[in-house]
Structure 1
Amino acid sequence: MDLIVHRIRLRPGVTPGRFEKWVRETDYATCPELPSVLSFSVQRVSGDPSAPVHFFEVIGVRSRAEFARDTTSSTFARLVADFGEMAEVVDELAGVRVEPGYRAAVG
């Protein structure tokens, strides 16, 4: 699985609460419509309007090539339009996980 990490800064006047509501109700809900996306989460970094970064997102994809194809869909275009009104990606990292990684047992 390839991972893509975006550091995100909110546009002036956009509250973290507004952005988080959109993430929960729209961004997360749309993921099943993007076949290349295996996992997706958004993490809050800072609510300070002057912070250089407010959030970061981690996208797990089958491959970057498949994800690039998904980015040409009308579904993805709607996400980009909504996102662009509220925030901007200020940095991107992409790589392949060194398997197997670690995950604690839940329960």
Structure 2
Amino acid sequence: MDIIAHHIRLHEGTAAARFESWVREVDYAACRNLPSVLAFSVQRVAAEPDAPCHYFEVISVTSGEDFRRDMRTTPFQELVSAFDTMASVVGEVSGTRIEPGYTAGSLSDTPSGAPSGMERIPAHVTDET
């Protein structure tokens, strides 16, 4: 799985509320039409107008090649057109996850091959029990 992270800066005069509403109502919904997108989220970083970055987005995709194919579709181009009226991507980093990663609540919080004793200890267990 590939991960792409974009640093986003709002254009002068774009209200954060407008951008965030668009993210919730349009951007997130459009992901259903992009087969390569496995997960997508936008995080608020700073509200100060002169901040170098106001948001960052994290996109998990099946592969960079698959995502580039989705980027050529009409639904994606419509997202770009709307996004460009409000903000700019001012930085990007991407890479491939070192699997399996960690997800709380997964069937096994212990990576395969982890030494014995690395299992999760219930919160109610103390040295006194």
Same fold (TM over 0.5): yes
Q: What does 1:1-107 align with in structure 2 at a 5 Å threshold?
A: 1-105=1-105
Q: What is the TM-score when the length of structure 2 is the normalising length?
A: 0.80
CA–CA distance in structure 2, aligned partners of residues 26 and 44 of structure 1: 17
Q: Distance in 1 between matches of 2:50 and 2:15?
A: 12
Q: 1: distance between equivalents of 2:102 and 2:26?
A: 29
Query: In percent, how many aligned pairs have the same letter?
Result: 56
Look up the SS of the partner of 2:85 in the other structure: helix
Unpaired runs of 5+ residues, structure 2, are 107-129
Task: Tell me how far apart the structure 1 counterparts of residues 55 and 38 of structure 2 sit (CA, whole Å).
Answer: 20
Moved over 3 A (4+): none
Question: Cα offset for 1:101?
Answer: 1.1
- Encode CA deviations 1:42-96: one digit per residue, 9 max, x unaligned: 0000111110000000000000000000000011010000000000000110101
- For normalisation by structure 1, the TM-score amounts to 0.96
Which one has the largest radius of gyration? 2
Point out where structure 1 has 5 or more consecutive residues left out of the alignment: none
Return the structure number with greater strand share. 1
Deviations 1:7-34 (A, max 9, x none): 0000000111110000000000000100
CA distance in 1, matches of 2:2, 2:15: 31
CA RMSD for the aligned pairs? Answer: 1.0
How far is 1:104 from its partner? 1.6
